[in-house]
Amino acid sequence: MIEYPLLFPISDAALDTIAEALTVQGFMLMDNFLDPALAQQISAEVQNLAEYAFKPAAIGRENEAQLAPDIRSNTLYWIKGQTLPQQHYLAVMEQLRVGLNRRLFMGLFDFECQYSHYAPGDFYATHLDAFTGQSNRVLSTVYYLNPHWSEEDQGELVLYRDEHSPALLTAMPKFNRCVVFLSDTFPHEVRVTHKDRYAVAGWYRINTSIDGHIDPPIEYSSAK
């Protein structure tokens, strides 16, 4: 498995390594993803917002979204760039979008993301972020904001090659760690957590606008 300590701003060497990992294996785990000061600012903001602004997470998109606590039980808050930490995070992810488009010609059009909180006992059952040919999400990202995380806390992100294969990647949600993977390729789950677990979940999307129907839509949908 390819790993790389990613620094801010994203260097050309780091972008080359990420592009290679996505080409070879379809995913990558990166520690030290952001500048430590920025990581601390984002962590403080997400914990503050979780106390009053988060909403139960649903499955499905737009009008088809519905609560399904037997499948996922976390809460979330959509990031719209309203604060400096959010703006700085989106700027980093824009660097990644541009860098991957230049190297892999992925056609990544925009990026949507949300703060996510899993309270003790929360989980997300195995699922795909996108189905081939049926979604404009093509690349998923999960950035973790949990200092002092231990194996006993669990809450790991687990990627599978398919629904019948053993785990391909088991990632503890450690502070300042980021996982990137192809949205329509890897079924994945969030195992039950035993401690408050915070992250930024995001998706790069392609533009599938047809006949005046704008896609990606402007409004925010329910997701991870």
pTM for the predicted model, two decimal places: 0.89
In tens, the pLDDT along 62-119 reads 556 677 778 899 999 999 999 999 999 999 999 999 999 999 999 999 999 999 999 9
Q: Residue 222's pLDDT band (boundaries 50, 70, 90)?
A: very low
Contact between 155 and 73 under an 8 Å Cβ cutoff? The reply is no
CATH of 12-205, picked from 3.40.109.10, 2.60.120.620, 3.30.365.10, 3.40.50.2300, is 2.60.120.620
Nearest alpha-carbon partner for 27 in 122, 161, 152, 127: 161
For the chain, the domains span: 12-205
150-162 mean pLDDT: 96
Structure tokens at 188: 């994945």
Q: Give the Cα separation of 116 and 106 in Å (integer).
A: 26
Dihedral sign of CA atoms 10, 14, 16, 19 in order: negative
